Amino acid sequence: MARGTAVAALSRLKDVSYRRIRDPERLYQLCEAVLVVGSDLSLPAVLRRLVEAAVAGLTNVLGYHLATGEEPRRWGTGHPDIVPYQVFAARDGHLVVAVGNDVQFARLCAVLGADPEAAWATNQGRVQRRAEVLAVLAHRVAKWRRDELLAALTAADVPGGPVHTVGEAVAAMRQIDPDWITSVDGVELPSSPIRVSGARLPIRRPPPRLGEHTDEILGQIGLSRAEIAALRSEGVVA
């Protein structure tokens, strides 16, 4: 996470920081030193590995390009090869409908009271007529309250789920585990999702405050107190 954040910062460094920093190249060198401290990788090597991981993570989008040579389109929340498989807007919120086969599509239409055309009976036909299929479904979904529709879909064995706000997601987790939120030094944090022998890993310390470890880290890479003070006075570090 820290390296990814540093790489994102470096990618926009001169554009964002140049007007406020008198020597942006010095700031770049400082970020490079912090990024690779304690590692045997150079900054270009770190960047290459991060980019490789990001491209490999394209999964089915990458597979489509390799198989066809075509540039994949942007489908928003939709799926390039399955219809319907995306977010819809209900009267009071959003939900995901993930129809995986033709039988499920027929069940979805029955729940919504939609009268599908014969050409929509197969996924291939629905993909070819994506716009018209989604228009009809969106119109029907918009008449429902989100949770009522989800209950009906569950009863009909049609995959779907709510698109939670952050607050709803936290409330749902607290229903599952009332102790899911932990307070450490006055900072509320989610519990670790990692379990060892069935027990969650403890949170040893809270996230650092702004500038809490600046002197310690820069000291480790060889900067003197005077140099750190100069960087702080220039607004380079907190």
Rounded Cα distance, 38 and 46, in Å: 13
E-strand ranges in the chain read 85-89, 94-98, 160-162, 181-184, 187-190, 195-196, 199-200
Whole-number Å distance between alpha carbons of 27 and 38: 19
| Tokens found for residue 44 | 């270009």
The CATH class of the 85-163 domain is alpha beta
Q: What percent of the chain has pLDDT over 70?
A: 82
pTM higher than 0.85 for the full model? no
Look at residue 28 and tell me whether its pLDDT is greater than 70. Answer: no
Read out DSSP for 194-220? -EETTEEPP--SPPPPTTTTHHHHHHH
Q: What is the pLDDT of residues 60-93, one digit of tens each?
A: 888 989 999 999 888 889 998 899 999 999 999 9
Domain boundaries, the chain: 2-57+209-233, 85-163, 167-200
Q: What count of other Cβ atoms lies within 10 Å of the Cβ of residue 148?
A: 12
